[in-house]
Amino acid sequence: MSLRAVRRGFVLLLSLLFCFLHFQALRLMAALRGREVTAQQKAQWMHFCGRITLPAMGIHYRIEGRLPVGPTLIVANHLSYLDIAILSAAVPCAFVSKIEIADWPGFGSLARMGGTIFVDRASRASAWETAQAISERLAIGVPVLFFPEGTSTDGIEVQRFHSTLFEPAIKRGLTVTPAAVFYEAHGSATERDLCWFGNDPFLPHLLQVLGVERFSAVVRFGTPEAFPDRKAAAWRAHDTVSGMRSGN
C-alpha cells in the first residue's frame, strides 16, 4: 500500500463524512419546515458529493457534449463503482443500482440518502417496480441514470443493453440520453487496470485506484432521442455509446 493511497484514503473518508453531515443538515432544515428532503434535493446532493469525492481520490474529470437537462433517461456504459461519483459530478440525477449496494458499509447509506433506486436483478417483479419508481422521478423532472449492461465490465466492449428499464421514458414520450464513460490513466496504468469487474475484491481495487499517480475520467454525452419502443431505444443507445467509446 503506497503512501499516496493512504493519504487519499484518509481524505476520501473525510469527504464522505462531510457528505453525510451535509445531508443531515438538509434533513434538519426540511424537518423544520415540516417537509422531507425532495428527490430534486437528493439529486443535487449527489452532484455535490461527486464533486468533492473525486478530488479526494485524485481523479480529474471532464465533460464532453451537452449536459442533459430536465426529465430524461440517461444510459451509460459501466466500468466500476467509480462511475457513480463521476456521473454524479457531471449531472444531478437519480441513480438505479443493484440492490446489493444498499448493504455496502458507508456507501450503501450514502446511496440511500441520495435517492438511489435499487433493483433486484434476479427478480422480474423488482424490475417492473423499479420502472415505476423511475417513472415517478421522471414525472417530477428529475433525470434518472442507469447502466443497461447490468454489470460493470473491463471496457473492452460495450455489452448488450437490457431494454426493460427504458420503458418509463417510452411511455412518457421522453428522451433517452446516451453517455459514454472513459478512464484515462497516466503512466503505466491502463483503463482496464482501473475497471472493477468480475470477482475482484472491492478494497484492494480501491487502494489500487487511490495509489494511481494520475487518473482522468471523461463523460461524453450524446444527443437525446425519443423512441417508439424500448427495444429500439436499447439498440440505438447501445450503438451510440459503443460508437462514442470507439471514437466514431
In the chain, the percentage of residues whose pLDDT exceeds 90 is 78
Task: Round the average pLDDT of the chain to a whole number and report it.
Answer: 92
Is the model's pTM score more than 0.85?
A: yes
pLDDT at res. 247: 75
* Phi, psi of 219, deg, nearest 5: -115, 120
List pLDDT tens digits, range 82-107: 999 999 999 999 999 988 888 877 78
Amino acid of residue 3? L
Kindly report the three-state secondary structure assignment for every residue of the chain. Answer: CCHHHHHHHHHHHHHHHHHHHHHHHHHHHHHHCCCCCCHHHHHHHHHHHHHHHHHHCCEEEEEECCCCCCCCEEEECCCCCHHHHHHHHHCCCEEEEEHHHHHCCCHHHHHHHCCCEEECCCCHHHHHHHHHHHHHHHHCCCCEEECCCCCCCCCCCCCCCCCHHHHHHHHHCCCEEEEEEEEEECCCCCHHHHCCCCCCCHHHHHHHHHHCCCEEEEEEECCCECCCCHHHHHHHHHHHHHHHHHCC
Distance CA 196, CA 198 (A): 7
Domain locations in the chain? Answer: 3-246
2: CB partners within 8 A, 6+ apart: 211
Grid-cell match 451509460, residue found: 76
**Residue of 124 and 74 predicted with greater confidence:** 74
Q: pLDDT digit string (tens) for 159-218?
A: 999 999 999 999 999 999 999 999 998 877 789 989 999 888 999 999 999 999 888 999
Residue 11 neighbours by CB distance under 10 Å: 17
pLDDT tier for residue 79 given thresholds of 50, 70 and 90: very high
Percent of the chain with pLDDT over 70: 99
Of the pLDDT bands very low, low, confident and very high (cuts 50, 70, 90), residue 232 is very high
Instruction: Write the pLDDT tens digit of every residue in 14-46.
Output: 999 999 999 999 999 999 999 999 999 999 999
Mean pLDDT of 134-139: 95
Position 60 scores a pLDDT of 93
The C-alpha cell 423512441 sits at: 227
Say yes or no to pLDDT of 122 above 80: no
Band (240; pLDDT cuts 50, 70, 90): very high
For position 73, what pLDDT does the model report?
97
Question: What is the pLDDT at residue 107?
Answer: 80
Collect all residues with Cβ–Cβ distance below 8 Å to 110 and sequence separation of at least 6.
16, 19, 20, 49
CATH of domain 3-246: 3.40.1130
Higher per-residue pLDDT: 248 or 42: 42
pLDDT classification of 221: cutoffs 50, 70, 90: very high
Cα 71 to Cα 18, 148, 162, 175, 190: the distances in Å are 29, 18, 21, 8, 35
Mean pLDDT of 61-76: 94
**According to the model, what pLDDT value does residue 248 have?**
54
109 versus 144: the higher-pLDDT residue is 144
Residue 226 has what pLDDT?
95
